Amino acid sequence: MNVTVGPAQYIRNKGLLEEAGPYIKNFGNSAALIGGHTSKEIVEVSLRKSLSEHGILLKNSLWYRGESSESNIDRLVVDLRDEEIDVLIVAGGGKAIDTVKAVAYRLNKPLVAIPTIAATCAAATPITILYSNEGEFIGIERKSKAPDLVLVDSEIIMEAPVHFLIAGIGDTLAKYFETKSSVKKATPTALNQTAIAIAGQVYQTLLQIGKESVNAVRAQTVTKEFENVIDTVILVSGSVSGYGGDDCRTAGAHAIYS
C-alpha cells in the first residue's frame, strides 16, 4: 500500500506571497518558476523580490504551454534537466500545477505550488491528469508528486474571477456524491471509509458557507468564510482523493468529464 495524503506543508495567509522567500529558502538557493502567462504575471514581481531578499536566485521563468500533456512535460524536463536549480515553483491553476508535479517527479526536485485560483485540489494530490495538446483527456499519470510546500495567498485567490471559485465549490461538492457511489464497488477499508467521512464534512461545510465566500469575492473582502472555502477546495478535498484513491473517483462525475 502506498498512500500520499496532501502536500508536505500547506500555508495560507493574506499577503503571503510577499513572505514566500523564507519558506522556499528551505529547499535551496536557486529556483525556476513555471506557470501560465497570467499566473506568472500575477506572482513573479513579488515572488522574485522576496526570493532575492533571502538569497535565492530565480534563474528561469517558463510558460507551461497551456496543457498538462506528455509533450509539454517532456519539453520542460529537457529545458530544465541541465540547469543547476534546487527547487521548482509552479504558479497557476490545476493544469499548470499538474504539469509541474510530473516534471518535479522526473527531475527529482522539490516542488512549491502557488495556486492562483481555488478551482481544484491539484495542489494537494500526487497525481497528474494528462491531456492531449488539444485538451482531450488522456488519463491519470502516477509518475507525479505532491508538492513539498503549498503557499496560498488569499488576496491572490480573491482577485481571480469569481467563476473560478464557483467552479471549485461545484467540483468539491461533487466529491461527496461520487465518493459515496463509487466506494460501493470496493471492500470497505479504514482509508476509503475515512474518505467518505471527509467528503461528507466537505459537503456540509460548503453548503453552510459557500454562498458567503462567493459574496466575499464579489465584495473583494477577505473573510473567514472565504478562507475556509479556499482551504476546503484546495487542501481538504485533496485528502478525499488521497485516502480514497481509485475506490472513490470512478463514478459518473469523472466518467462524464473524461
Question: Any idea what the CATH number is for the domain that residue 240 is in?
Answer: 1.20.1090.10
Question: Residue 5 — very low, low, confident or very high, per pLDDT cuts 50/70/90?
Answer: confident
In this prediction, residue 257 carries a pLDDT of 66
Residue 3 lies in a domain: no
Question: What pLDDT does 180 receive?
Answer: 87
Q: Are 208 and 142 in contact (CB under 8 A)?
A: no
Q: Are residues 116 and 145 in the same domain?
A: yes
Query: What is the CATH classification number for the domain harbouring 103?
Result: 3.40.50.1970
pLDDT band with cut points at 50, 70 and 90 for residue 185: confident
Residue 174 has pLDDT above 70, yes or no: yes
| Judgement on whether residues 194 and 172 belong to the same structural domain of the protein | yes
Same domain, yes or no: 113 and 216: no
User: What is the number of domains present in the chain?
Assistant: 2
Are 146 and 23 contained in the same domain?
yes
Cell numbers standing for residue 214: 462567493
Q: Mean of the pLDDT values across residues 175-201? A: 91
* CA–CA gap between residue 147 and residue 242 (Å, rounded): 13
> Do 40 and 132 lie in a common domain?
yes
What's the pLDDT tens digit per position in 13-67?
Answer: 999 999 999 999 999 999 999 999 999 999 999 999 999 999 999 999 999 999 9
In a domain, 2, yes or no: no
End of a domain among 98, 133, 158? Answer: 158
For residues 50 and 153, membership in a common domain is answered with yes
1 located within any domain:
no
- Looking at the fold, whether 133 and 206 belong to one and the same domain comes out as no
In this structure, are 67 and 111 located in the same domain? yes
Q: Confidence band (pLDDT; 50, 70, 90) for 98?
A: very high
pLDDT above 80: residue 1: no
Q: Does 44 fall in a domain?
A: yes
User: Helices 190-218 and 162-182 sit at what angle, rounded to 10 degrees?
Assistant: 160
User: In terms of domains, do 181 and 98 share one?
Assistant: no
Show which of 97, 131, 158 is a domain's final residue.
Answer: 158
Confidence check: pLDDT of 250 > 80: no
Cα(76)–Cα(109) distance, integer angstroms: 13
Confidence of residue 182 (pLDDT cuts 50, 70, 90): confident
Task: Look up residue 153 and give its three cell numbers.
Answer: 495567498
**Phi-psi domain of 86 (left: phi exceeds 0; alpha: psi -120 through 50; beta: other):** alpha
Report the distance separating Cα 36 and Cα 211, nearest Å. Answer: 28
Amino acid symbol at 244: G
Q: Which domain holds residue 90?
A: 10-158
Average pLDDT over residues 94-120: 98
